[in-house]
Amino acid sequence: MHTLIIIAGILGGIGTPELILIALVVLLLFGGSKIPELMKGVGKGVRGFKEGLKGIDDDINESGKKEPDKNTQKANDPGKDNTPAG
């Protein structure tokens, strides 16, 4: 039922009578025994989506923390002469 309230908040134009009507239609279409299975599937999908977002955030954070190559640091050192010997 919380999912319907969240959806109603997003859509904005749906009030309590409409939510009750939608809940009754879902109950008639799927039956009382199927609704827990449906909600379980929705919960797994949302959990997977959140884990995917967390994985993307972790990848972004890791890429920002990586140290630059040591060769790059040496080449950019202003105190050293970087011209090739020869």
For residue 41, give its domain range. Answer: 2-62
Query: How confident is residue 31, by pLDDT bands cut at 50, 70 and 90?
Result: confident
In a domain, 79, yes or no: no
CA–CA separation, 23 and 4 (whole Å): 8
In a domain, 25, yes or no: yes
In a domain, 46, yes or no: yes
From residue 47, how far is each of 51, 55, 79 by CA, in Å? 6, 12, 52
Residue 50, pLDDT score: 92
In a domain, 54, yes or no: yes
**What percentage of the chain reaches a pLDDT higher than 90?**
14
Query: How confident is residue 75, by pLDDT bands cut at 50, 70 and 90?
Result: low
Number of domains in the chain: 1
Residue 70, pLDDT score: 58
Task: Give the SS3 label for residue 71.
Answer: helix
In a domain, 67, yes or no: no
Dihedral, CA atoms, 80, 83, 84, 86, nearest 10 degrees?
-110
